[in-house]
């Protein structure tokens, strides 16, 4: 844990294989926890599972990139969401990293342009560390999945063997193809991934 937290430290953490999550109520101190799970969740770019019904649903959404980052991260950090962890420190640091071109958002929109869901994450070379995703339960039941499908298409579009880190495997993510690998394997893959070129986030998404 650390009391210090800023953009440079966050980027150094991802390069070292750790990611930050705020710690609250530790003797009244505002600390940042740094995590490196023994079993790390990743989504192999050739392992994404898209069911027939999901493929039909995602055609309802238009995908954009980096057009609504502020709204995406705030919707992801909605305090009413179960297990919410995004606080003002995260908002400030990741907004700065977005402005620096290191953090990106992928948005799924309805036909009339409303934001139905999205995700954001950290891009360093060929590493994309997914941080959080959300969907609007009224207008975007599968919108976060649509954003994930578009992200995978973007990461693998030029044939590079990039690394999509999702931190932990959950039953929901496992249904989409997320697997767990040992920490040592993750760190080996990370060392290669950060040397690869980053995807072109200016390119139109699928």
**Predicted pLDDT of residue 135:** 95
Is-contact 57 116, C-beta < 8 A? no
pLDDT digits (tens, 9 = 90+) for 93-108: 999 999 999 999 999 9
Is 201 a domain residue?
Answer: no
Whether the predicted pLDDT of 44 surpasses 70: yes
Distance CA 204, CA 206 (A): 7
For the entire predicted model, the pTM comes to 0.94
User: For the ranges 85-89, 150-154, 179-183, which has the lowest average pLDDT?
Assistant: 85-89
Highest average pLDDT, of 29-33, 77-81, 143-147, comes from 143-147
Is 1 a domain residue?
Answer: no
* Domain count of the fold of the chain: 1
Is 153 a domain residue?
Answer: yes
Q: What is the dihedral of CA 76, 203, 201, 41, to 10 degrees?
A: 70
User: For the ranges 2-11, 17-26, 69-78, 156-165, which has the lowest average pLDDT?
Assistant: 17-26
Is 203 a domain residue?
Answer: no
To the nearest whole percent, how much of the chain has pLDDT over 70? 95
Angstrom distances, CA of residue 152 to CA of 5, 11, 159 = 29, 22, 11
Is 166 a domain residue?
Answer: yes
CATH (domain of 172): 3.40.630.70
Whether the predicted pLDDT of 29 surpasses 90: no
Distance CA 9, CA 15 (A): 10
Domain that holds residue 76: 7-193
Is 200 a domain residue?
Answer: no
pLDDT digits (tens, 9 = 90+) for 114-169: 999 999 999 999 999 999 999 999 999 999 999 999 999 999 989 999 999 999 99
pLDDT band at 24 (very low <50, low <70, confident <90, very high): confident
**Predicted pLDDT of residue 119:** 98
Rounded to 5, what percent of the chain is helix, strand, coil? 35, 30, 40
Is 205 a domain residue?
Answer: no
Tokens at residue 22, please? 């705020």
Is 202 a domain residue?
Answer: no
């Amino acid at each position: 844990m650390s009391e210090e937290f800023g953009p440079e430290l966050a980027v150094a953490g991802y390069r070292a294989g750790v990611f930050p999550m705020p710690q609250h109520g530790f003797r009244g101190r505002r600390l940042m926890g740094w995590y490196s799970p023994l079993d790390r969740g990743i989504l192999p770019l050739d392992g994404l599972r898209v069911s027939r019904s999901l493929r039909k649903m995602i055609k309802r959404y238009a995908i954009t990139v980096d057009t609504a980052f502020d709204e995406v991260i705030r919707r992801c950090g909605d305090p009413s969401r179960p297990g919410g962890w995004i606080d003002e420190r995260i908002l400030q640091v990741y907004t700065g990293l977005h402005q620096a071109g290191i953090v990106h958002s992928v948005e799924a929109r309805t036909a009339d342009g409303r934001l139905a869901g999205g995700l954001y994450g950290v891009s360093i070379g060929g590493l994309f560390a997914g941080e959080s995703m959300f969907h609007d339960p009224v207008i975007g039941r599968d919108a976060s999945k649509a954003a994930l499908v578009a992200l995978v298409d973007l990461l693998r579009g030029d044939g590079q063997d990039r690394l999509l880190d999702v931190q932990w495997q959950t039953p929901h993510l496992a249904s989409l193809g997320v697997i767990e690998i040992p920490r040592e394997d993750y760190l080996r893959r990370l060392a290669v991934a950060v040397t690869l070129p980053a995807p072109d986030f200016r390119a139109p998404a699928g």
